[in-house]
Structure 1
């Protein structure tokens, strides 16, 4: 019932109940795990064996929603700009990303609330893939790390604005981002997407109101924007499902 009340509040541009009906970060985590599991099942059925669990082939990743800009621009598959953030290249990839989401997500969600958290997570997935297009437009990309770096970039900027009370979290997140960028260089990760997500998150962290009154115009704006983000994610996942069904036929 609380889910229903929260959803109706979003439809009306009103604040949600703020109760512990569900954790949005955990819901995103579960969605990632479900999509990865389905991809592994299909890869196993195709006879890929243990390879699909550790390092799925690029074609399978693209098939399951990976970002590939030629398909976006030439075939109009714009839904890939969001589905790629739910697709992962192996058990280690998704394991590391989901560990970060589990640790960082609830902190940011508790600070912002569900609506603003969803806006942050969605928009930074877009800024990550946009910078990826400018950096390497012909490279397939998968993973939630763009949005995760968005959360970190947001935390650095937002908690810096809080002054002394937020300094510890700001410094911790900044150090974590530096280490992750260095690690990404060593293993050949998509640091373009990481940087794009971090910059997008930092930009939102600089403009997000610190005082968030439930009935303020800013609250209404972010609730409505969250509804648009939710619709975009649902649409993208439906289009992915239709693409998978079409390929199966």
Structure 2
């Protein structure tokens, strides 16, 4: 297919789009080989952010339909949070709703909660994804989301838990240990940047009564993964196949979880 002629025919700059698509193809190939992240338009961090915004919007609309009005936007009820995918371990253990171990990380307890978490994801996510690649990023995000909620099972199994902060603390914990291992002024500047975010997020969490169990579980598991993740490009190329496979399975698990969440509404 002649890409240039196609875009020229609809009034767009065909040459520009031809080069843009070729660049995306090259970036996709590099991402498959563990050498780079996906193109920015398709980056995992951006897709995760959009998924959070979409599910929050759906929750607010459902809350409004149930007569909760603005409360669904600012302070949704516990019942609405559970209906929207929040983690409640009795439903997981007694009714087999294991998909909540992932969907809870896309459910938020109000606009302020969502706004803060998405600000952290927007600041932290793209930098880390460019460093470790898109496959490593999605795997890290979802694994730390699961370990964060597992910590909640040990700490407060009967509390409804929502929010991306467990996974975000996982990204921060990973970054601190990973960039510390990398060495050098630039890597240590990244490490210190993440340390500042950790302190800021922890203080904010204390002020709003956030789930410190999830924060601790996510941060510790992320730090452990950061100590083991390969730094050398040659080693990453060797592990690209297994890493892409695991990332693909993690992505399918997330997709299946979201499908089961939607199915539960009917």
Matched, 1:131 2:146: no
Aligned twin of 1:224: 245
Alpha-carbon shift at residue 106 of structure 1 (Å): 0.3
8 A Cα contact 2:27 2:38, kept in partner: no
8 A Cα contact 1:9 1:15, kept in partner: yes
Matched, 1:141 2:161: yes
The root-mean-square deviation of aligned C-alpha atoms, in Å, is 2.3
Aligned twin of 2:222: 201
Aligned partner (choices 35, 42, 58) of residue 78 of structure 2: 58
Aligned twin of 2:16: none
* Distance verdict in 2 for CA 1:237–1:7, change over 3 Å: farther
In structure 1, runs of 5+ residues without a counterpart are none
- Relative contact order higher in (CA < 8 Å, ≥ 6 apart): 1
8 A Cα contact 2:145 2:167, kept in partner: yes
**Deviation readout 1:49-104 (Å, 9 max, x if unpaired):** 11111000001000010000010000000000000000011011101111111111
1:110-125 residue pairs with structure 2 within 5 A? 110-125=130-145
Max Rg structure: 2
Aligned twin of 1:86: 106
Alpha-carbon shift at residue 187 of structure 1 (Å): 1.8
* Distance verdict in 2 for CA 1:159–1:16, change over 3 Å: closer
In structure 2, runs of 5+ residues without a counterpart are 1-20
1:1-249 residue pairs with structure 2 within 5 A? 15=34, 18=37, 20=39, 22-165=42-185, 166-213=187-234, 216-245=237-266
- Distance in 1 between residues matched to 2:195 and 2:37, nearest whole Å: 28
The 10-residue stretch of structure 1 (187-196 or 217-226) with the greater mean CA deviation from structure 2: 217-226
